Structure 1
Amino acid sequence: MTDTDSDDAEPESIADRLRTHVSENRGGMLSDFVFAVVWVTGVSLLYDFAFSNTPQWVLYMFMLAGIPAYFGFFISLKMAKSGR
């Protein structure tokens, strides 16, 4: 029988589950957040200054390019760390 099936166990609140999740994934969440902030800032600066005469869909395409850039960056980082 699992712990979740026992009647005497207190149900875990959403705040407790969130606190547990954040404590287990703190480093990964921080690096994801930093990447997102840097990417959005860089794209916004590029769009505002370097590509100021382009249509707005270019901004959206730059933002969407952040998805493969994110995975490419972290996969290459993982490969570099494993190659040491």
Structure 2
Amino acid sequence: MTDTDSLDDAETDQSLADRVRSHVSENRTGMLHDLAFAVVWVTVVSVLYDVAFANSPQWVLYMFMLAGIPAYFGFFISLEMVKESR
């Protein structure tokens, strides 16, 4: 049996609100870290694009935003590596 099968079987009597509440309570800190990273990344990119790259085409902004994906994984992977080395 896969994980999704066991989740589906165990939660058939729960409402959507109960499942969302349960998911958020289990993943609260991870979701908060993800949100904080996204807000900081978008803020920094927006300021850079408006100030330092003001004369650049709009695709530069989109490339900076897309660069947030590998930056996110690189940041959190390196954070895990530091935690493991302690």
Please report the TM-score for the alignment, with normalisation by the length of structure 2. Answer: 0.87
* Structure 2 counterpart of 1:18, from 17, 20, 27: 20
- Could you list the structure 1 runs, at least 4 aligned residues long, displaced by more than 4 angstroms after superposition: none
Measured in 2, the distance between the counterparts of 1:79 and 1:10 equals 38
Measured in 1, the distance between the counterparts of 2:67 and 2:44 equals 12
Measured in 2, the distance between the counterparts of 1:42 and 1:10 equals 43
Please report the TM-score for the alignment, with normalisation by the length of structure 1. Answer: 0.89
**Unmatched 5+ residue regions in structure 1?**
none
Q: CA RMSD in A?
A: 1.8
Q: Which residue of 2 aligns with 1:28?
A: 30
**Unmatched 5+ residue regions in structure 2?**
1-5
Higher Cα Rg, which structure: 1
Measured in 2, the distance between the counterparts of 1:24 and 1:83 equals 26
Q: Which residue of 1 aligns with 2:3?
A: none
> Which structure has the highest helix share of the two?
2
Instruction: Mark the CA change 1:52 to 1:17 in structure 2 (over 3 Å): closer, same or farther.
Output: same
Q: Which residue of 1 aligns with 2:73?
A: 71
- CA deviations over 1:19-63 (Å, ceiling 9, x no partner): 000000000000000000000000000000000000000000000
Q: Secondary structure at the match of 2:56?
A: coil
Instruction: Mark the CA change 1:55 to 1:19 in structure 2 (over 3 Å): closer, same or farther.
Output: same
Q: Identity of aligned pairs, percent?
A: 71
- Corresponding position: 1:38 with 2:49: no
Give 1:35's aligned amino acid: F
* Equivalent residues, number: 79
Q: Secondary structure at the match of 1:69?
A: helix
